[in-house]
Amino acid sequence: MLYYKRMKIIYRISDAGYNKVKPNYIDNENCLKNATEVFKDADWSIIADNVSKETSDMIEKYKSKDHIYYASEGNGAATFNLALDEALTYGDDEIIYFIENDYIHKPKSQKILEEGFTLGASFVSLYDHPDKYLSPSKGGNPYCEGGAEDTRVYLTNNCHWKVTNSTTMTFASKVSTLKRIEGILRKHTDTTHPNDFSMFLELRESNELLITPIPGYSTHGETAWLSPLTNWKNYV
């Protein structure tokens, strides 16, 4: 049975950011526009950190001011903690999807996210991270010797899923799970930059299952790490 409560989107956007090479179609507006279209049936909150007047005007093209919290934290760890603070105010069975501002999603991503939770996962990511297909010697995930990850594969109505060891700070979880492992989340976001890799490794050691669809239903916008087997420009 699918999960039918309205999903909560907590979207984090900033004019600052890390110096990463991205395709020219990955920018603040294209990613926000895509997310608001794909998740149009969800409840939305936007944390806008250190944004210019131009960016705030752009955001307000897609969501009204009552959905936006303007902050001046200056780093991703602090804004994630703001997002987590909000998430913890919702009911235990609510699904929270934390989204960073450089992701593109395929249509029907909300339905796919909901399907993932029918497998009993603690965390669902829509991003099939290509580091899981590269050996460590080639810059891949340190737990993927030979360019492959030891995993289990599942099937739901619309896609295959695999268990994976880590993802980025764009992920979904139920509030009950966030409450249970809040200490781990805070521990790995207590500096200026979230340490997502070590965070998910500790969660894995705590038997908290993370799954992702294969192929992915979203991608991070960094050119070197686009989710494979999809032309993401088609979704902008």
- Please, which pLDDT band fits residue 158 given cuts at 50, 70 and 90? very high
pTM summary value: 0.96
Domain boundaries along the sequence of the chain: 8-224
Per the CATH hierarchy, to which homologous superfamily does domain 8-224 belong? Spore Coat Polysaccharide Biosynthesis Protein SpsA; Chain A (3.90.550.10)
> What is the C-alpha separation between 148 and 154, in angstroms, rounded?
17
Query: Is the model's pLDDT at 121 over the cut of 90?
Result: yes
Rounded Cα gap, residues 169 and 76, in angstroms: 9
Q: pLDDT (tens digit, 9 = 90+) per residue, 61-116?
A: 999 999 999 999 989 999 999 999 999 999 999 999 999 999 999 999 999 999 99
Give the rounded percent of residues in the chain with a pLDDT score beyond 70.
98
Tokens of 217: 């239903």
pLDDT for 3 equals 47
Query: How many helices (H) and strands (E) are present in the chain, helices listed first?
Result: 7, 11
Q: Please tell me what DSSP assigns to residue 80.
A: H
